Structure 1
Amino acid sequence: MNDAASGRKDVAGAQRISIAILAMGGQGGGVLADWVVALAEAQGWAAQSTSVPGVAQRTGATIYYIEMAPIRAAAEPVFALMPTPGDVDVVMASELMEAARSVLRGLVTPAQTTLITSTHRAFAVAEKEKPGDGVGDPAVVSMATEFAARRLIAFDMEAIAKAEGSVISAAMFGALAATEALPFDRAAFESAIGASGTGVTSSLRAFATAFERTRQNPVEAVRRFPDKRFVAMPDTAGHPELDRLVARIRTTFPESVRSMLFTGVRRLVDYLDPDYALEYLDRMGMLFDIDRARGGDTRGFAFTAAAAKHVAIAMTYDDVTRVADLKIRESRKARVRVEVAAAEDTIVTTTEYFHPRANELCGALPKSWGEWIESRPEVFKVLDRVVNRGRRIRTNTVIGYLALAAVANFGKRRRGSLRHAREAAHREAWLTLAVQALETDYALGMEVLACRRLVKGYSDTHARGVSKFDRVMSAVPTLAKRDDGAVWLDRLKRAALADEDGTGLDGMLKTVASL
């Protein structure tokens, strides 16, 4: 590759190459920069590395900037301390949106820059805080980066690194080697990894896999949403009670809804017990009969399929016992160990943050007890002063683990709790409204079910979601009188998901009231 084609400049009589690496905390951006510098110096080049840290781990990536040039007797190269927009040869981004930010900063140019990016996502706070779908569209980013760069290398390097037991920096280094953007052969890159002396074997595996992937398929298509995957319904679950549930699904419901129902049953058995899952199937059987009577067979029983999803989620609401249960599960401990890349002989400590409130405690108590406390404001205030404070619990200690296990154990008696009674009543009111809407407008009935998306989360998040949901449901009787009622209800749902404080929803409800 000649100098003109690669976009390299001649500075003080020496060929200069500039590289910007954008990486988040824990992704090995500093290690990658060290490898690049060690590679250049081992080949007789002068190299300099600087870094500009982001504001925080996910609000801004650290930018590592490297300049290198051959050592010449005539003059010593003078390197810049930070990248200049429009004058960077190689940009390496550890995540897709970081690649987009590099384009916005002007670091990527179509005449000069080779852009190497992983296509996986690590969602930013601004994306996760949205009540609805706040995720940036990766397809738009992909098109923008392909247009902005002279050459684009984009595939899931994080997946390669995890599969090889390494970190993403090793995969990115392999992609860099395969582009030939640097005038060094593959062996020189591998020697730089070997000289580091840490995690060499796994890093070399990730390097090799990414190298071959870059040569064979340098750009992969990205999608905003992953493919939906359902666990295949088995012929037998290996337990009489579970086999009874599987048989009930197979004999009572049509093929088009069985996968969703089986997924719901698995969720409910895990949440409580097989009897709770049977209660779910009983309710779904009634909804299926209504769907069939309203001509659902001509629509693939779409109402039943939607209800199978949303009713299962509604029946597995998050409460303090559920949160405690999830935090002490062995599967979570295993996932944490993988995320922190802990060795088998390494002790991993986990500190959980709990901040229960009096109303959550009352909800976990038997219905009569919880109502008694809530009906006495002074007692409630005293209880809130005792429990309403943040607690940091180390689950790797005996006391910490037993404390959470005791809270989780209350979940077995969830059916008699105040929270369960209220959730069941709220759920039945919603399903009654959906059935009433279905009688006049199939699409409106579907939208009433879909509005359950508004109810999610735990504690204050759940309270805000229920408030929005109830306000949206209040418009259903009015919309049931209109031919375009389903369209308007969808607009209300989207308005409720668009902002946290509900300002847009208030405006939309006023519009509906004026129809």
Structure 2
Amino acid sequence: MTAVDITRTGLSTDKPLSIAILAMGGQGGGVLADWIVALAETEGFIAQSTSVPGVAQRTGATIYYIEMLPPKGGRLPVLSLMPTPGDVDIVLAAEFMEAGRSILRGLVTPDRTTLIASTHRAYAVVEKEQPGDGVGDPLTVVDATDVAAKRMIAFDMQALAETYGSVISSAMFGALAAANVLPFGKAAFENVIKAGGKGIEASLRAFVAAYERVREKPRDAVSKAAPKRFEALPATTGQPVLDALLERIRTQFPQTAQAMLFAGVKKLVDFQDPAYAGDYLDRVARLHQQDQAHGGLAKDHAFTLAAAKYLAVAMAYDDVIRVADLKVRASRFERVRQEVGVKPDQLLYTTEFMHPRMEEVIGTLPGGIGRWLEARPKLVAWLDRFVNRGRRVRTGTILWFSALYLVSALKPMRRKTLRHAREMGHLAGWLDQALETLPANYDLAVEVLGCRRLVKGYSDTHARGAAKFDRVLQALPMLIAREDGASWLRRLRQAALLDEEGIALDGALKTVASL
């Protein structure tokens, strides 16, 4: 093989500036790549961009790769089509876990790479499918970044962009300009946006805000869990029936539980009506009385606080009426329009995938009729042949919107349905278990209330959760006399949330039985 002197071919061997962008669908990664290429070419550089699309919007991000360098002596540059590990100067990640994936791919190196990342999260399928908390730990990314990157710029660029009516690509372009890692001035960046012709004003506002944000504070602290924010009780709502509920919260319950109770009341008024929220306060008041009678003051009323939280969740259960109600709300259509960036002159149609079963239909019927049907399994099986199949529902059409709207209008009769009767029966049994445990083991009783988080959703999801709930509380007699009983019940609950099949729970229950 004969060696070739590449300099004699008229090609430049200079090392280009290399930029990798990791973005998901709808985040404007392609626009950002085009802006960077346009910026380089406007400033006399030669630039090239390529992209490798991900599998789907949230199972794999698209990687846009850009190389640029100034022309030299009339020689054409040799530019790569893909980023090479250890050879990337700038990485732009439009979501925080994508920053972590860029490190795993070797695109971020401590000797050369500036990492610019948004700290917001768009959860992956593997995170959402976990029964419990399957969210990846962003602190792991932070630790890796401190070692892997030469420099990091990180803050919530998604929130900043939304504040100024733009998309995250504008904020990332501003952060890139402020990082001073490209040999171009701020005005050159702005001129590229102005030449775009679409959404110029909003994009410029987001660009400037991100630019100033990096200059003032280039990096935000990151935590796994978002801080809990509870609204303070308002002086008045302007509605006498709602003001009466607020007055009950102020006068009948301890300060530590009032914010949670207010959140619960808002949830249940939205779910049903003020009378239903009043029933919620009645139940919590009875539990609070028992809390006070069994040393609740010394425990900062932890039992009352847990009751306020989990009772509201239990009473606002997911049923067909609730699902239909949420899908036809104007606020939902507006939120979807904002998320996908619909323009004023564009129409948006949403397609919902629904797979109802006769169980859901029966649960929506009045209690007597529902029980009559359940007692006739052959009839139910015959009807299920017509009901139990997947449907793609276009809520932008009159037919399907009207159908869902009619189902949502069944809210006034919800308390007469078979599903409601069963939910309230299960709720009463759960509270009885907590109250029976309270005199003997206060901390364990609090954990009994917390086990309600295992029950969620409807259909198969609800059935699996309820089965795990029952299995966890079967261990209660073995734990009630133990000082560490609360700790063990908490472990059982966490094990139940680890997998759908309940394999981890099986092992945890065997451990408890051996104590």
Same fold (TM over 0.5): yes
TM-superposed deviation, 1:15? 5.0
Task: Name the aligned partner's letter for residue 53 of structure 2.
Answer: P
Instruction: Give the Cα separation in 1 of the matches to 2:235 and 2:169.
Output: 44
- Structure 2 residue aligned with 1:8: none
8 Å contact 2:13–2:78 — kept in the other structure? no
Instruction: Give the Cα separation in 2 of the matches to 1:159 and 1:247.
Output: 35
Instruction: Give the Cα separation in 2 of the matches to 1:321 and 1:283.
Output: 24
Superposed, which structure 2 residues align to 1:244-283 within 5 Å? Answer: 244-283=244-283
- Structure 2 residue aligned with 1:384: 384
TM-superposed deviation, 1:512? 1.6
* 1:120 pairs with 2:116: no
Task: Name the aligned partner's letter for residue 274 of structure 1.
Answer: P
* 1:333 pairs with 2:333: yes
Residue deviations 1:345-379 (CA, integer Å, cap 9, x gap): 43222222221110111111011111111111111
Task: Name the aligned partner's letter for residue 439 of structure 1.
Answer: P
Task: Name the aligned partner's letter for residue 404 of structure 2.
Answer: L
Q: What are structure 2's unaligned runs of at least 5 residues?
A: 1-10
- Structure 2 residue aligned with 1:493: 493
Instruction: Give the Cα separation in 1 of the matches to 2:453 and 2:334.
Output: 30
* 1:422 pairs with 2:422: yes
8 Å contact 2:325–2:404 — kept in the other structure? yes
- Structure 2 residue aligned with 1:478: 478
8 Å contact 2:178–2:214 — kept in the other structure? yes
- Structure 1 residue aligned with 2:408: 408
Instruction: Give the Cα separation in 2 of the matches to 1:241 and 1:104.
Output: 56
8 Å contact 1:14–1:70 — kept in the other structure? no
* 1:202 pairs with 2:202: yes
Instruction: Give the Cα separation in 1 of the matches to 2:473 and 2:29.
Output: 49
Q: Which moved more, 1:224-233 or 1:79-88?
A: 224-233
TM-superposed deviation, 1:73? 2.2
Instruction: Give the Cα separation in 1 of the matches to 2:40 and 2:251.
Output: 68
- Structure 2 residue aligned with 1:447: 447
Q: Secondary structure at the match of 1:324?
A: helix
Instruction: Give the Cα separation in 1 of the matches to 2:239 and 2:40.
Output: 62
Instruction: Give the Cα separation in 1 of the matches to 2:84 and 2:343.
Output: 40
TM-superposed deviation, 1:74? 4.8
Q: What are structure 1's unaligned runs of at least 5 residues?
A: 1-10
Instruction: Give the Cα separation in 2 of the matches to 1:249 and 1:45.
Output: 66
- Structure 1 residue aligned with 2:507: 507
Superposed, which structure 2 residues align to 1:166-245 within 5 Å? Answer: 166-245=166-245
Given the two structures, how large is their TM-score scaled by the length of structure 1? 0.96
Q: Secondary structure at the match of 1:318?
A: coil
Q: Secondary structure at the match of 1:424?
A: helix
Residue deviations 1:104-147 (CA, integer Å, cap 9, x gap): 11110000101111111000001111111111111221221132
CA, structure 1 residues 494+45, in 2 after alignment: closer, same or farther (shift >3 Å)? same
Task: Name the aligned partner's letter for residue 273 of structure 1.
Answer: D
- What is the aligned-residue RMSD (CA, Å)? 1.3
8 Å contact 1:13–1:75 — kept in the other structure? no
Given the two structures, how large is their TM-score scaled by the length of structure 2? 0.96
Residue deviations 1:419-464 (CA, integer Å, cap 9, x gap): 1111111111111111111111111011111111111122211111
TM-superposed deviation, 1:291? 0.1
Residue deviations 1:275-333 (CA, integer Å, cap 9, x gap): 11111111111100000000101111110011001001100100011000011111111
8 Å contact 2:97–2:141 — kept in the other structure? yes
- Structure 1 residue aligned with 2:76: 76
8 Å contact 2:12–2:72 — kept in the other structure? no
How many matched pairs? 505
TM-superposed deviation, 1:201? 1.5
TM-superposed deviation, 1:157? 0.8
Q: Secondary structure at the match of 1:312?
A: helix
- Structure 1 residue aligned with 2:6: none
TM-superposed deviation, 1:13? 5.3
8 Å contact 2:174–2:210 — kept in the other structure? yes
8 Å contact 2:359–2:459 — kept in the other structure? no
- Structure 2 residue aligned with 1:355: 355
The percentage of counterpart residues that share the same residue type is 61
TM-superposed deviation, 1:42? 1.1
Instruction: Give the Cα separation in 2 of the matches to 1:125 and 1:164.
Output: 29
